[in-house]
A and B are shown apart, each in its own frame.
Chain A
């Protein structure tokens, strides 16, 4: 079943500044979809549209079979309950003046979710592998990887159906990145995820489906395994060929 679909979506930041052209793809419920592209591919703009921060100028976005009404406040209130986001920089996405408990439970308050918010925050923070006393501390007391876990806890606390992640592991060191990718994998079993990244390796590890963007257009889309095995478009081929690989040889770890 389709959770979100984009139909011939186009967007421009003014005359002559077209960033998205004729974008169509679907996000099946329960799937992990990766949006891959380099700088200037339009992937960040596409994410803004999917978050309802902007509206497409051409085409439309359907969420759960109904149009995403980005300009309808009442609709967006409900939409945010069902769709949450994790951003790249865990240093700027957490309010430094607030305790983690307040940060994690913020969606519950602003979305007027009924129930015991403290207990829900405790559950969310436990599911990202942090201890309950985390909630009483401040963002500066945590490392980048821990902050990203906190951001993920905030994204899942209201039990959304869809999580949109924007380069959510790109700013992390390699050893932290692997652990946060593991966490995303675990979480994605319970919800639908769209993972925007320039990093093909991360998308390959996380997403069963992939959409490859180049200069505002989709050049290739389909099952990740199939695209990796047999890329059709010249751009996808060059992207895959450019990724540095570890030296070959017998590996002993």
Chain B
């Protein structure tokens, strides 16, 4: 559709001996919150890597991915690097591996801030960068920013690390934020905070969201529209409310029934 921020058409990802994702099509409008649901091996994370042009070389993409009007598949690395800053940024499951263990958190956030300011021809001096880092820390609601910018990743909690990773993604001012299982490694109370934070931020900043998770209930809280994947194929796409209450496909129905069973157990109906 014209005007979409991300359009994926007939995407197939394959290694020489295996098809991993087959004939996948979906689109995300500017500012839309889109959920990708799938169990392990469904191809959901590969799809997000394809969108950012980060597939490993052994995986060959076919089809088309347009992001902010530019084709990703076959694009030269130089253009992909620019787009990864400008158009799309990703938050991964495990913030500990996404962060540099030997660099204070403040400097890690400052990196993408400085690159963006330079790219846009704005003042990228020390004071300007520090100001932006401060604003980002407030946006992701990190307590004690003074202490935090001097801390190393291992010195803060998992939830705080994920907030730092979100701040780094926002530092790029992307038009699409990809969150790939961003709460799976977190405790349930922290998960609830991070889910609220991501939802509020993309809403306030008008950023589109591609939220990837195996957890139907979490996706239901975040996304307006969802796609269910299985074995590299799209099974069902539709409004989140509809897919999670009145699914059409039999596989989606079995997933929804399973999720609702644990929900009901919590309501005291085991």
Complex Cα distance, B20 from A27, in Å, reads 47
Complex Cα distance, B187 from A39, in Å, reads 7
What are the residues of chain A within 8 A of B161 when measuring CB–CB? Answer: none
Contact of A253 among B214, B218, B247, B268 (CB under 8 A): B247
Complex Cα distance, B266 from A102, in Å, reads 39
Which among B191, B220, B241, B263 has the highest number of chain A CB atoms within 10 Å? B263
Any chain B CB within 8 A of the CB of A229? yes
Count the A-B residue pairs with Cβ separation under 8 angstroms: how many?
A: 104
Q: Given the known inter-chain contacts A173-B39, A250-B246, please indicate yes or no for A178 contacting B261, CB distance below 8 A.
A: yes
Pairwise interchain contact A243-B260, C-beta atoms closer than 8 A? no
Any chain A CB within 8 A of the CB of B122? no
Pairwise interchain contact A201-B263, C-beta atoms closer than 8 A? yes
Residue of A nearest to B262 (CB): A201
Stretch at the interface among A9-17, A55-63, A234-242: A234-242
Sample 8 A-B pairs with CB under 8 A, ordered by A number. Answer: A173-B40, A175-B39, A204-B265, A239-B188, A244-B191, A246-B220, A246-B256, A251-B245
Pairwise interchain contact B40-A205, C-beta atoms closer than 8 A? no
Contact with B along A129-159 (1 / 0, CB 8 A): 0000000000000001000000000000000
Any chain B CB within 8 A of the CB of A245? yes
Q: Given the known inter-chain contacts A173-B39, A244-B221, please indicate yes or no for A253 contacting B266, CB distance below 8 A.
A: no
CB distance from B17 to the nearest CB of A (A): 18
Pairwise interchain contact B268-A229, C-beta atoms closer than 8 A? yes
Complex Cα distance, B265 from A244, in Å, reads 13
Complex Cα distance, B258 from A177, in Å, reads 8
Any chain B CB within 8 A of the CB of A202? yes
Any chain A CB within 8 A of the CB of B96? no
In the complex, how many residues of chain A place their beta carbon closer than 8 angstroms to a beta carbon of chain B?
36
Complex Cα distance, B244 from A206, in Å, reads 24
Any chain B CB within 8 A of the CB of A1? no
Across chains A and B, which 8 residue pairs bring their CB atoms closest together, nearest first?
A201-B262, A204-B265, A244-B217, A205-B265, A242-B192, A38-B187, A173-B39, A178-B258
Complex Cα distance, B220 from A177, in Å, reads 19
Complex Cα distance, B266 from A238, in Å, reads 14
Pairwise interchain contact A228-B267, C-beta atoms closer than 8 A? yes
Residue of B nearest to A177 (CB): B258
Contact of A174 among B195, B216, B247, B268 (CB under 8 A): B216
What are the residues of chain A within 8 A of B158 when measuring CB–CB? Answer: 39
In the complex, how many residues of chain B place their beta carbon closer than 8 angstroms to a beta carbon of chain A?
38
Pairwise interchain contact A240-B266, C-beta atoms closer than 8 A? yes
CB distance from A67 to the nearest CB of B (A): 34
CB distance from B93 to the nearest CB of A (A): 14
Contact with A along B169-196 (1 / 0, CB 8 A): 0000000000000000001110110010
Any chain A CB within 8 A of the CB of B207? no
Any chain A CB within 8 A of the CB of B4? no
Any chain A CB within 8 A of the CB of B253? yes
Q: Given the known inter-chain contacts A247-B220, A253-B247, please indicate yes or no for A38 contacting B188, CB distance below 8 A.
A: yes
CB distance from A154 to the nearest CB of B (A): 23
Complex Cα distance, B267 from A11, in Å, reads 34
Pairwise interchain contact B241-A249, C-beta atoms closer than 8 A? yes
Please provide the chain B residues from 188 to 231 with a CB less than 8 Å away from any CB of chain A in the complex: 188-189, 191-192, 195, 214-218, 220-221
Any chain A CB within 8 A of the CB of B16? no
Pairwise interchain contact A242-B245, C-beta atoms closer than 8 A? no
What are the residues of chain B within 8 A of A199 when measuring CB–CB? Answer: 262
Pairwise interchain contact B217-A249, C-beta atoms closer than 8 A? no
Any chain A CB within 8 A of the CB of B19? no
